[in-house]
Copies of this chain bind each other. A is one copy, B any other.
């Protein structure tokens, strides 16, 4: 098999983050699930925006953030995701291309508007996300460039995109395209609430051997396995996937493959400003190491460094030179 043109092609929500700091009391008052991601409809999105303080807009989307990280590390990436033909769609497209990521999905010329995520960041740096999916939920399977997917070492998928029907079909089709080409499929479980809705699908994908690399955090591991104990969860899930990566926030991360197990502590951060994108950038560092043939321990270390950079500032796209940071 020839050297693939891309290191990673990803399919994900094409989202602009609308972020503002807030007090814990506001999260409670607005009845948001602190630390989670909730899908919101137009009236709820308006009500939450109304209640939000002065905000800033920074391109986001879980898999898109991961690609921006990989591109910053020197990887060759392409993104597939649906924006609308509007100002936020232009912002998303500009930012991901300016980050060095190929992005060719044509904007959709109808309502609804480009997806946005209203993110309330509490003083502890924790983010609480409210996603208005908008155009993102209409990514058609026809938008997939199967030749491009076949020409990437890894296809990376975000679990968040399993919620809407059209992208779910597109992702299933993409998995088949990648596997037929002999490429690897990486999957992020994204969120414990998403697993509550689609855990059966995810367990089936894993059981049928469709996933080569699985990314989870502690809560997602517990939600997927039904096991509260971290080690029991890892012991249960690890034999089912070639590579399992579980992040534990301030406690670091663990990776397990058939013949290797590695752990890494969290990388030191002077002050945690905003944890938005921590998991996305951890995946960026890990995946970049993986496609470059590094050991699990080295991949984890690169993930931890990238995650540390992202939580030291507002927004889920890297600001520092990640390539320099990981050495």
Interface residue ranges, A against B (CB under 8 Å): 20-21, 49-50, 52-59, 68, 86-88, 91, 94-96, 98-99, 113, 315, 317, 319
Q: Which residues of chain B come closer than 8 Å to A49, judged between CB atoms?
A: 94
Does A87 contact B113, Cβ atoms closer than 8 Å? Answer: yes
A55–B87 CB distance below 8 A: no
A interface, over-half SS = mixed
Taking the closest CB of chain B, its distance from the CB of A114, in whole angstroms, is 8
Contact between A99 and B54, CB atoms less than 8 A apart: yes
Report the bound CA distance from A59 to B88 in whole Å: 14
Residue in B closest to A53 when the chains form the complex, CB atoms: B98
Q: Are B95 and A55 in contact (CB under 8 A)?
A: yes
A113 and B90 CA atoms in complex are apart in Å by 13
The CA of A59 and the CA of B56, in the complex, are separated in Å by 7
Chain B residue with Cβ nearest A114: B87
A58 to B, closest residue via Cβ: B56
Contact between A57 and B57, CB atoms less than 8 A apart:
yes
Taking CB atoms, residues of chain B closer than 8 Å to A88 are 87
Given A52-B98, A54-B317, 7 extra CB contacts under 8 A: A21-B319, A53-B99, A54-B59, A54-B98, A54-B99, A55-B95, A56-B58
| Nearest B residue to A87, CB-CB | B87
20 contacts between A and B (CB under 8 A): A20-B98, A21-B319, A49-B94, A50-B94, A52-B94, A52-B98, A53-B98, A54-B59, A54-B98, A54-B99, A54-B317, A55-B91, A55-B95, A56-B56, A56-B57, A56-B58, A57-B57, A87-B87, A87-B88, A87-B113
